[in-house]
Amino acid sequence: MTTQTTTVPAYAAPAAKAPLERTTIPRRAVGEHDVLIDIKYAGICHSDIHQARDGWGEGIFPMVPGHEIAGVVTEVGTGVTRFAVGDRVGVGCMVDSCRVCDNCKAGLQQYCTNGNVLTYNALDKNGEPTYGGYSTHIVVDEAFTVRIPDGLSLDVAAPLLCAGITTYSPLRHWNAGPGKKVAVVGLGGLGHMAVKIASALGAEVTVLSQSLRKKDDGLSLGAQHYYATSDDATFEALAGTFDLIVSTVSAPLPLDRFLGMLKTDGAMVNVGAPEEPVSLNLFSLIGGRRTLAGSGIGGIPETQEMLDFCAEHGLGAEIELIRADQINEAYERVLRSDVRYRFVIDTATI
């Protein structure tokens, strides 16, 4: 094994809560099963901000966030079989896993029971910190690299690597499709993809947002209905309505009221996570045999399936393309929900 590394430009948070600034980081030499990716675009996920500001604790600094990566392969290791130089590829939230546990064998690397290696703010199998997509290049094992179909532009494909798969996976698992009524809570980066994907799957989609401010957007993204959760009448009008509610918000919700909008056997799935524990009255589940569930990103095979599905249906993220020197400003705007609907960094500006 070679230990030769290269040094590449990146944007990093030098310490928790510090603004991100331009720096350089090491990338490992291209190993036998690795691909070197020239990153073209990197999406800004809300969880980047959580971690750069150490909201979940135990951050590794300096931190280069970014797990919505789209680029082009520029070098392949001698053992690489699935990719060639020039291929358009993506990398999401994980860059490795144990590969031998039951979940890994089933393609559910996101639930690796031995702990997977996250794309940034983690330690790889050699104990080296991982650095994410706010950078010009990344070296990733081909097993954690996915193909971006030609029908998808790389800039609008980047956010699919987290926002896309995080919503696609539960929508598929809970069978969103024709004849199903699906509610999407929150119309942000994740929510807008949930609306697009659920609609493309054939479900009848309702957006549940705090206000009606983005109603026109929601309807044009594919929702048939749009309700404000700030209006108490919404919960009464929609009682017992949905087969599936996908919550994309990280603010704590009044769960009992949301669960009351499920049909018998309906499920409410959370892909957003508040920092504090939540409470609910279990009778909200018992009456109607309802399910309250969570779901995290998706495995590598499903991530490829999602990209193929999105290409087939012409689904990219709605993005605002920014320069790297606008990252800190973009973070402030994400925290104010002032983005339609994903910031994407043009990494040529790093």
**Chain contacts with Zn ion (rule: CB under 5 A):** 45, 47, 97-98, 101, 104, 112, 114, 162
Q: Which is nearer to Zn ion, 165 or 238 (CB)?
A: 165
Any idea which residue has 């997977």 for tokens? 116
Cis amide bond preceding 227, omega within 30: no
Strands (E), 77-145: 88-91, 94-96, 117-118, 137-141
For the CA atoms of 226, 231, 235, 236, the dihedral, rounded to the nearest 10 degrees, stands at -110
Closer CB to Zn ion, 71 or 260, in the complex: 71
Cis-peptide, bond into residue 226, ω within 30° of zero? no
Contact, 49 vs 132, CB < 8 A?
no
Tokens of residue 214, six digits: 């983005």
Q: Which residues contact 294 (CB under 8 A, 6 or more apart)?
A: 269, 270, 271, 273
Among all chains, which residue has been given the structure tokens 């290409």?
A: 311
- Residue of 301, 331, 322, 347 lying closest to 19 (CA atoms): 331
In the complex with Zn ion, the residue whose CB is nearer, 22 or 99, is 99
Strand partners, 25: 8
Report in angstroms how near the CB of residue 45 gets to Zn ion at its nearest.
Answer: 3
Least distance to Zn ion from the beta carbon of 337, Å?
A: 16
Structure tokens, 53: 């500001």
* Shortest Cβ 254–Zn ion spacing (Å): 25
Pick the closer one to Zn ion by CB: 106 or 237. Answer: 106
Q: Which of 17, 40, 118, 32 has the alpha carbon at shortest distance from 75?
A: 32
Would you say 121 or 199 has its CB closer to Zn ion? 121
Alpha-carbon distance of 30 to 231, in angstroms, equals 55
Q: How far apart are alpha carbons 322 and 41 in whole angstroms?
A: 10
Closer of 80 and 93 to Zn ion (Cβ): 93
Our CB check for Zn ion shows the closer of 104 and 345 to be 104
In the bound complex, what is the minimum distance in angstroms from residue 65's beta carbon to Zn ion? 9
Residue 309 Cβ, how far from Zn ion at the closest point, in Å? 19
Name the residue type at position 14.
P
| 202/301 with CB nearer Zn ion | 301
**Which of 181, 192 has the CB closer to Zn ion?**
192
Tell me the closest approach of the beta carbon of residue 188 to Zn ion, in angstroms: 11
- The shares of helix, strand and coil residues in the chain, as percent rounded to the nearest 5, are 30, 30, 45
Measuring CA to CA, how many Å separate 130 from each of 27, 125, 146, 243?
Answer: 9, 10, 18, 39
User: Residue 92 Cβ, how far from Zn ion at the closest point, in Å?
Assistant: 8
- SS3 assignment, position 322: strand
Shortest Å distance, C-beta 232 to Zn ion = 32
